[in-house]
Amino acid sequence: MKKVYLIGSLRNPQLPVIGNHIRDLGFDVFDDWWAGGYEADDWWQKYEQTKGRSYAEALGDRYAKHIFEFDLHHLNTSDLGVLVLPAGKSGHIEMGYLIGRGIPCYVLFEGEPERFDVMYRFASKVFLHLDDLLTELKGVFHAE
């Protein structure tokens, strides 16, 4: 079974819904990172600041290392990436990591973007509608 790393924002409630649509095609979808909740990063920041730590120090702590290694394992074992926009810095870094490893990546916009950006050409393909992405996944990446 092919594994899709679903990339996006903790604040996007549509992420698990999109993940389910991709699962329905027979793919193994990694979107477990979303389970931490939309405020996970905010609470981590508050916790580290309460301990008197800077961002640089917090990145070296056990929690950050654990979460990073968890995500990295799944990035390294995925066959395909899908970046669901809007997404922040982490999502774009994850997509860049996958592309750098030669893993195909798709980008799903929420319709026509307000501003065009040529750098999304790094992606294998860009989609403006979920149905078009799902059709592509059915046709190109047959789930085993």
Q: What are 8-17's pLDDT values in tens digits?
A: 999 999 999 9
Looking only at the bridges linking them, the beta strands covering 80-84 and 105-108 are parallel
pLDDT reading at 144 higher than 60: no
pLDDT, residue 140, reads: 73
Residue 123's alpha-carbon distances to 4, 7, 80, 87, 98, in angstroms, are 15, 13, 11, 15, 10
129 phi and psi angles, rounded to 5 deg? -140, 140
CATH of the domain at 100: 3.40.50.2300
CA angle (101 as vertex; 99, 102 as ends), nearest 5:
65
pLDDT, residue 89, reads: 97
pLDDT, residue 73, reads: 99
Query: What is the average pLDDT value for the chain, to the nearest integer?
Result: 95
pLDDT in tens, 111-127: 999 999 999 999 999 99
pLDDT level of residue 141 (50, 70, 90 thresholds): low
pTM of the model: 0.93
pLDDT, residue 40, reads: 92
Domain-embedded: residue 30: yes
Owning domain of residue 14? 3-39+75-140
Domain-embedded: residue 48: no
pLDDT reading at 93 higher than 90: yes
Structural domains in the chain (count): 1
Domain-embedded: residue 66: no
Domain-embedded: residue 32: yes
Domain-embedded: residue 50: no
